Structure 1
Amino acid sequence: MAANHGLTIQQESDDAMRLVVSDTESSAVSVFWKPLPPQPPHTVGHQLTPPEHLEILIQAGPGDTSEATRELGEHLDTLRLPYTESEIEGITTAMPLLAHYSNPDPALDDWALLFRDHYLEHSVGFLLAMERAGIPPEWIFALAKGDRTYNRERIHATFHTRGYRSGLLDNTAINTPEAHGAELTDVTATLDAFIDTAHSAGRKVLVVDDGGLIARGYGAPDAERRVDAAVELTVSGIKRITQAGPLAIPVLNMARSHTKTSLGYPEIADSCLRRLRALIGDRKFIGRQVLLIGYGTLGCRLAPALRGLGCRVDVLDTDLPSLIAAAEAGYPTHRSTPDALRVTDPFLIIGTTGEQALTGDDLSFLSDGVFLAPFATRDFSILTETTSSTHDIPGVGRRVRLPGGNTVVLLGDGRSMNLFEADSIPNQGYDAYRAGTLIAAKHLCANADQIPPGLYRDPADAAIEAAGLFDAYYDRYLAHPTQCPKTTGMTTRERRQVNACVVGYGNAGRLHTQILTELGADITIIDPKHQDVPKGHHSFPHDVANLPTVRAAAIDLWSICCPTADHLPVLRAVLEHNPAARVLVEKPACQGHEIEEFTSLLATHPRARVLVNDQYQHSTVLPAFTDLLREYEGQAPITHAAITFTKDRTADIANGRFIDRTYGVLGYEWLHMLAVLSRVLPAPLVEAYFASIPEAAELWATYDPRLFVAALTERTTLDHPSEGRTRLELASSILGPSILLGTAPQPRSPWRRDIRTADDRHRHVRLETGNTRFTLHLEPVTAPGGWQLERNHHRLTAERDNHLLYDEVLEDSPLSTAIRYAMRSLLDEAPLPEVDLIPLRRIAALAEILRDRAPHDTPAFTVTNQ
């Protein structure tokens, strides 16, 4: 900036600088700054660590320096006005339901957004959610409605900083277009250009508005240019749309939606009353007379709130059903303003109609000094149209002299008073309504071609109900703590309600469901067999591809636990629903011949976040095992490593369950064994193993005509310059009981006899280094003598010369730890590690070798490859 003005920067001190004119050394601009003590928050909420504040003084020097001074001030505004990252995080955190439903949705991929609403913090939250859901920042155009809301300049700057377009289409200009011709011409040209650019780029245009845009013809059959769909937010907007004539686009009516009526209007009424009391905080309310004009959706909520304060409330309404409702609720009622003011003398008159609540003839009935509180722009517009003598009362409103000589105080600026220099509704208070609007917008974009032109409420209500918003609202804000899901020890991100879908409800699906439920997730189970699905969860007895779009769009986290042969088709169906889905796939990721197709699917969906579950990758007992080895043998090389995982699946196989003819025994425990190998051997030995040629290994295989290979032992020798020579043995079997290994424990806690029937699964890891043998018995643990440990307890031992050096029991739930890690990682935005398919490729290669050498038409027997 200095260079552009021919100036040079001179640093005077740590808190001052000068911009001087070259060659003269005379100051053009001087800048001074100093840190300020912690300041009150400049947001609706607060941050635990408030941002630092500086006070900056810009002093213009002699001569023509106004341009440089102005430019520096404007540049500093671009730095100071936008919300900080911590403030943005505070807004997002205060709207957890909106965050929950803002998962990426492919329905928004080819849309642009025109958003017109008050510049309030919950509007920021909504646009951030639309951005997360899939609309790029450059295709978001926000328009303020002209109200003097708190932080409107900061919000405008924030939108620009994020890459949105931001402008103004004032309600006053829409209501009286003949008086705002030039203003409307400018904004119309900008809107037309945005719509044309979006359509040229192949994007449809969604409007989320209070009726200003559609009323100006952008949804009409004969429109020169037309948007493609709209979500209407306010009753006044509905009236404008109705008056504008036939529609050529679908419009969803959120103004009359069940969400706004039930959850939005109580918060609006609360904000109106709070703002009213703040503006005339020195006035007595208890026992005073109040006239409420309008007993509609807002008025019928304000009346009992005022009565609860002790006010004597009279109601005026020209709509007879509303007037009857007010009378039967116990309020004195009146058909007209003169009728009301002849028999009452209110100190406060409140307008909630959205229409002209006072006429010129009514003004003579107003008492001197009465307060007028408009909660819609047009309520008391007569005062700005027929009176000329006004006196501003900063921060309160204006004092207006009436034609008859009396004066009244119009609170606010004549528009919606709850928005005057305020942020109106709390962010949490509008969380549900903004979330409902987001759900409706997603549904509309996904189904715009199927919804005929017209104004509809039912599709919005149905989409919101299907998405479970009211359930989520109750659980988040209203349920008793003992009714809420268990969240102990969870992170802030995990604590918000996560909508998880478990595909497949076999053993793995049951475990995933149990753990995700304990982590506070709301579970949907998809299982075509619909086998034993618990009633406490949502369920869907069809395939993922048949899941309704609205249901699929609400899923935050997918867990694929179906048979391996279905993993790839299910993942493909999930990504068709949502190309940016967050997916946990149970091991193995896919079948061996599908590896390339699996990797290609991930490559064509770069926004997807996919993890393959690897429970032993996150086990805490494995590092404890290697630490034990180093404690007793230091850096001595490992000379022998043996990993044995067995499980007797005879009964399951007889019942047709857990039959893997593609991999045989390799498809059950071998991936777990390789995960353990990667954790307990030094990295160079692990790399050497996976780089070795499977054909060079010694393989002992037991073939079975039902199962391909029922047992396998792989022996190989690993050589590495720094680690020496290590003999490695991997063994697994799925038929027949296993022999218990190791020494009997001392008869003390936590060991107990016969806790359960004899275990049919055993998982042992043995490392030999120096003169010591280290053994890890992973759960379930049964030791010689019938001694057993509870689930998720593991035994570590160290022996030397047949003498037991160390014997310890550790508690660790690898699967729970792995799913917690997956949930946290998938829902985060930090980069994920690439899906590691090297172990699966090794297994596929081993299976191919075994298949090539398999005997034919013979009973089960063992062969060896040496």
Structure 2
Amino acid sequence: MKIEWALNHMPVVASLMNNCKKEKPFEGITISAVLHVTKETAVLVKALKECGARVLLAGSNPLSTQDDVAAALAKDGIEVYAWKGETEEEYFWAIRKIIEDGNPDIVIDDGGDLHVTIHKEYPQLAEKIIGGTEETTTGVIRLKAMEKDGVLKYPVIAVNDALTKFMFDNRYGTGQSTIDGILRATNVLIAGKKVVVAGYGWCGRGIAMRMRGMGARVIVTEVDPLRALEAVHDGFDVMPMDDAAKVGDIFVTATGNINVIRKEHFLKMKNGAILANAGHFNVEIDVKSLEALAVSKRRIRPYVDEYKLPDGRKIYLLAEGRLVNLVAAEGHPSEVMDMSFANQFLSVKYLIENKGKLEPKVYKVPHEIDSEVARRKLNAMGIKIDTLTEEQKRYLESW
């Protein structure tokens, strides 16, 4: 039922699936994917299967898998190796399983662990892979580093960098679902709270915007002067984390970097401060330092751990420092994942159609794919737009 609900709210992916059911462009192609196993992901992998692919799926976070969705996909012929609450060892076992059992032609990743594992442990397999895609900012950063170091062995399309992905998924999806996760975990009132958002990329923008919409007084911390300046002009207070730590009630990290909130910040926080992470990996909040500082730790609600410091102050960590929107809630709404996963679907199709023509580099999503996704989404929403006249086209092409 959850998958059916998602499909009903993902008209772009549904239309792509219906268009290619007969021609089956992915016939004979094996796809290994590491994604958050949610109802929206189920729609994507079912679409790939309906269009001819063999699909193997592992989770991209030990705590984000929806077990009922994984079970439903397994019954439907998807080879799923994911369950909620995996250990780190089990998490990487599942990734190796979909590599070894699949011997994939195409790889789809969210975070970069699949790409990195293939390159480090299965270099011969990497040589025969047609190409891959990457769903999130963290993974794209890692892949660009691999390209820079000259170790990337196949072309990868940075789906995260598609306009119809990051401007909507990262901003509106992360903005809404992060608050959803915080509220489900804590049920605190957002209005009147001082919320510190670390990072003003597209995810940070979305979180800050939505927090303000719920009545929070938002503070942004940044290392990039341009983004900091933008946050100021968007009406937010901007200050270093050292200063924000003293006044914040709720802290949300969304940077893709390590130890953004660390020991010196914990020591300055108010009693009752709440910490949440919206970045892909559980490295943005220095949990090890918090564990070392605390004299006691206890779980007081699902996904809420209380750390008591030597002076009696209490700090509350949500979702063990992992993605709060996918651990404590359901992740992004189906409507926004519709565009992200339409980009995934069309990027896989593009890689297959251009087999052997692309160098082992990180590529942007082709503009025609971005435009096609936007057109299909507008059509599904019943929205029409203008088109250029021939005279207008000639005018824009002239100098």
TM norm. shorter chain > 0.5: yes
For 1:236, give the aligned amino acid.
Answer: T
**Is 2:231 aligned against 1:326?**
yes
Distance in 2, Cα, partners of 1:308 & 1:257 = 26
Residues 133-532 of structure 1 aligned to structure 2 (within 5 Å): 133-135=51-53, 139-149=54-64, 152-168=66-82, 183=90, 186-187=93-94, 189-196=96-103, 204-218=105-119, 223-226=123-126, 227-244=129-146, 245-246=149-150, 247-265=152-170, 266-281=172-187, 283-334=188-239, 336-342=240-246, 345-355=247-257, 356-376=259-279, 377-378=281-282, 380-384=284-288, 386-387=290-291, 389-402=296-309, 405-459=312-366, 461-465=367-371, 468-477=372-381, 479=383
Residues 499-648 of structure 1 aligned to structure 2 (within 5 Å): none
Distance in 2, Cα, partners of 1:340 & 1:327 = 15
C-alpha spacing 1:219/1:435, structure 2 compared with 1 (3 Å):
farther
**C-alpha displacement of 1:404:** 5.2
Listed as ranges, the gaps of 5+ residues in structure 2 are: 391-399
Distance in 2, Cα, partners of 1:171 & 1:309 = 31
Deviations 1:408-444 (A, max 9, x none): 1112232111112422222223212211221111111
**Match of residue 110 from structure 1:** 28
Number of residue pairs aligned between Structure 1 and Structure 2: 373
Deviations 1:270-309 (A, max 9, x none): 111233233332x333232221111111111222222222
- Decide which structure has greater helix share: 2
Secondary structure of 1:261's partner?
helix
**C-alpha displacement of 1:207:** 3.0
Distance in 2, Cα, partners of 1:190 & 1:327 = 47
C-alpha spacing 1:187/1:350, structure 2 compared with 1 (3 Å):
closer
Secondary structure of 2:255's partner?
coil
**C-alpha displacement of 1:478:** 5.8
For 1:279, give the aligned amino acid.
Answer: A
Distance in 2, Cα, partners of 1:170 & 1:366 = 32
Distance in 2, Cα, partners of 1:184 & 1:267 = 25
Secondary structure of 2:265's partner?
helix
Aligned partner of 2:7 among 92, 98, 107 = 92
Distance in 2, Cα, partners of 1:228 & 1:126 = 19
C-alpha spacing 1:169/1:448, structure 2 compared with 1 (3 Å):
farther
Q: Which moved more, 1:112-121 or 1:96-105?
A: 96-105
Contact 1:108–1:446, Cα closer than 8 Å, also in 2: no
- Bigger-Rg structure (1/2): 1
Identity of aligned residues (%): 18
Deviations 1:223-250 (A, max 9, x none): 1321331010001111222344431101
Contact 2:63–2:85, Cα closer than 8 Å, also in 1: no
Deviations 1:313-332 (A, max 9, x none): 11111122211111122222
C-alpha spacing 1:450/1:232, structure 2 compared with 1 (3 Å):
same
Secondary structure of 1:315's partner?
strand
Contact 1:143–1:167, Cα closer than 8 Å, also in 2: yes
Listed as ranges, the gaps of 5+ residues in structure 1 are: 1-42, 45-87, 174-179, 199-203, 485-534, 537-866
C-alpha spacing 1:190/1:267, structure 2 compared with 1 (3 Å):
closer
Deviations 1:74-110 (A, max 9, x none): xxxxxxxxxxxxxx54432222111111232554223
**C-alpha displacement of 1:218:** 3.1
Secondary structure of 1:368's partner?
coil
For 1:347, give the aligned amino acid.
Answer: D
Contact 2:35–2:110, Cα closer than 8 Å, also in 1: yes
**C-alpha displacement of 1:451:** 1.3
Contact 2:193–2:249, Cα closer than 8 Å, also in 1: yes
Aligned partner of 2:46 among 128, 140, 143 = 128
Question: What is the CA RMSD across the aligned residues, in angstroms?
Answer: 2.9
Residues 687-836 of structure 1 aligned to structure 2 (within 5 Å): none
Higher relative contact order (CA 8 A, sep 6+): 2
Distance in 1, Cα, partners of 2:91 & 2:9 = 36
For 2:268, give the aligned amino acid.
Answer: F
Deviations 1:743-800 (A, max 9, x none): xxxxxxxxxxxxxxxxxxxxxxxxxxxxxxxxxxxxxxxxxxxxxxxxxxxxxxxxxx
Contact 2:199–2:220, Cα closer than 8 Å, also in 1: yes
**C-alpha displacement of 1:470:** 1.0
Distance in 1, Cα, partners of 2:344 & 2:85 = 21
Distance in 2, Cα, partners of 1:125 & 1:184 = 22
**Match of residue 393 from structure 2:** none
| TM-score relative to the length of structure 2 | 0.84
Distance in 1, Cα, partners of 2:102 & 2:335 = 33
For 1:423, give the aligned amino acid.
Answer: E
Secondary structure of 1:392's partner?
strand
| TM-score relative to the length of structure 1 | 0.40
